[in-house]
A and B are shown apart, each in its own frame.
Chain A
Amino acid sequence: MAEKPESSTPSVDAMGITAAPPRRSEWRRFSRVFFGRKLYLIGFIIVVIIFLAAIFAPLIAPYDPIKNDLPSRLQNPSTEHWLGTDQLGRDILSRIIYGTQISLIIGFSAVFSSAIIGALMGLAAAHFGGWVFAVIMRVADVLMALPAIILMMLIAGMMKGGGIWIVVFALSFGGIAPMCRMMCGMALSVKQNDYVLAGRAIGMSNWRIMLTQIFPNAFPPLIVGLTMGIGGVVLGEAGLSFLGIGVQAPTPSWGGMVMDGQRFLMTNPLISTLPGVAIMLLVFGFNMVGDGIRDAIDPRLRGVI
């Protein structure tokens, strides 16, 4: 850093080249932010546990989640059934563990399908402007105007059978409009930057500007929205199941469990509150991970940390 310029006309190379901040590895920087804050860490641990539970459900669940055992119905927690049993005598712990599978499958597939469609629509609206913008945004407005739960009920109701993919379809439909609006808003503000202008000035094509200049800058802030969306979709699935049009019995789904247990809220409150707590933890975990990722991938932090 302290090389002394010797001659009166030093070469350009002497000008502070070596003075750039020292480089840290990408991963160290990421992990320093991500794991440096307690809440993010707690959220991350919750998400990891949920994933492990989903993957290893057959190994860790003590009972079959769908096999009825009427003699031991509505039991309180005991050494045999740690969290008690429901009205059909099924082990609640096992059902919650298996429920993670359904929640994650639905959460991820619904969020990603709505994100892809919504983001493309938003990006196109922001980049092309004019009538493209008007048409896409009006479509999004219409989608937004329909209450999500009614929209979902409509779709789920029309396609009877209640298979899990129909739930996914119904839930992802509701996510398109918010994603489209978020993407459009971000892309419009990114477009104001001089580097987009610079891209045009060097002769980049519209597509290239959209994909290399606008999208990489508009997308990361939406990751928070996406991870939070997973929480939201799980909630939505719970709502549909609660209304009886979601994942059909006897498949263990947290929302369905909350609905099943509500009749016994006074006598056996654990039946519906425990899956409720599981939903809450999942939503919290994903929200924290979203916040953590957003902070950790922010390039503005590079060189500072």
Chain B
Amino acid sequence: MDTSSNDKVMKVENLKMYFPITRGLLRRKVGEIKAVDDISFEINKNETLGLVGESGCGKTTTGRCILRLYEPTSGSIIFSGNDISKMPERKLKNFRRNMGTIFQDPYGSLNPRQSAGGIVGDPLLVHQMATKRDVKDKVAELFRIVGLDPDMMDRVPHEFSGGQRQRIGIARALACSPSLIICDEPISALDVSIQAQIINLLEELQEKLALTYLFIAHDLAVVQHISDRVGVMYLGRIMEIAESGELYENPLHPYTKALLSAIPIPDPVAEKTRTRIVLKGEVPSPVNPPPGCHFHPRCQLAIPECSQARPPLRDVGSGHYVACIRV
């Protein structure tokens, strides 16, 4: 699975993304939304790293920082040997070629006034990887790879179904043969019966083209199915990160346990024997997160020390990391 652990595609260290809250005419800063609060992780070559968490946990912001759609407040993002976290836009272009993105909303992420072929061909033209003459052939090839008929190249997105549109998005992400593809909730807007088609396509492409994915989603069952390793995020921090089977069989963090138990499974017999940990209260605001461990006010295992200091993400063996002092 992970043959060469030295072969890192990306290394994120102490990444922080705080969005200022401003008020008034003079844009006085009155606070900060700590969307991503000091996280570190690595993505190995040819693996899928899953990031799960509930809305507002910072998983999408993390993805956008990596894509440098946001400029991180601090921390470093090492990609192909360079720190891109503070790189100016004109230098970034070369790195952008090596990153693909698949967005959540297959309706909103494709320009409705552009033909499907134009959308897929754009990255090739932007990075001068194709000339106006041969771009058509390359786009046709990409269409075939993602299972679309190249004859439909000059149709606009609205002439496609949701699943087909997501395939267009995948073709666009693949266009420049990127070394990392960031999938931000790529299937959650699709019908249940179509989701499996897209998951399988992503898996097949990974096998065929040796791709590396950062797979961001809220559905733990899906993330676990597709990922080699999974990171669980809560309120801007990574709570636990482990190999995906290990995370399910041996979850350590109380939040991971609650999250796992909350996922409904379509099997009434198994459901009868499952105990569900129902968390108290709600996710606090990222403007004013609780001190110490962000999860402690809702945690069943919490002790006074939990509110004192932030628990470090510590290694508990075989690549399993957990940020909790009680386990």
Contact = CB atoms under 8 A, between A and B. Distances in A.
A299 B156 contact: yes
B112 to A, nearest CB: 5
B158 A12 contact: no
B126 A204 contact: yes
Given A23-B159, A299-B112, A302-B159, A198 B149 contact: no
A300 B158 contact: yes
Given A203-B97, A203-B123, A299-B112, A198 B147 contact: no
A12 B201 contact: yes
Nearest to B154: A23
B148 interface: yes
Contacts of A269: none
Interface stretch (A104-112, A209-217, A277-285): A209-217
Interface of A: 11-13, 15-21, 23, 193-195, 197-205, 208, 212-213, 216-217, 220, 299-304
Contact of A16 (B157, B164, B176): B164
Contacts of A197: 69, 103, 109
A17 B126 CA distance: 28
9 contacts: A19-B161, A20-B152, A194-B103, A194-B109, A195-B108, A198-B109, A202-B122, A302-B158, A304-B158
B111 A217 contact: yes
Interface residues of B, number: 45
Contacts of B144: 13
A204 B118 CA distance: 14
B96 interface: yes
The CB with the most chain B CB atoms within 10 A, among A12, A220, A302, is that of A12
Interface of B: 67, 69, 92-93, 96-97, 99, 101, 103-105, 108-114, 122-123, 126-127, 144, 146-149, 152, 155-161, 163-164, 169, 172, 175-176, 197, 200-201, 204
B147 A13 contact: yes
A301 B200 CA distance: 31
B147 to A, nearest CB: 3
Contacts of A304: 158
B108 A202 contact: no
A193 B146 contact: no
A201 B164 contact: no
A18 B161 CA distance: 11
A7 B156 CA distance: 32
Contacts of B69: 197, 200-201
B197 A15 contact: yes
B174 to A, nearest CB: 12
A301 B157 CA distance: 11
Contacts of A198: 101, 103, 109-110, 169, 172
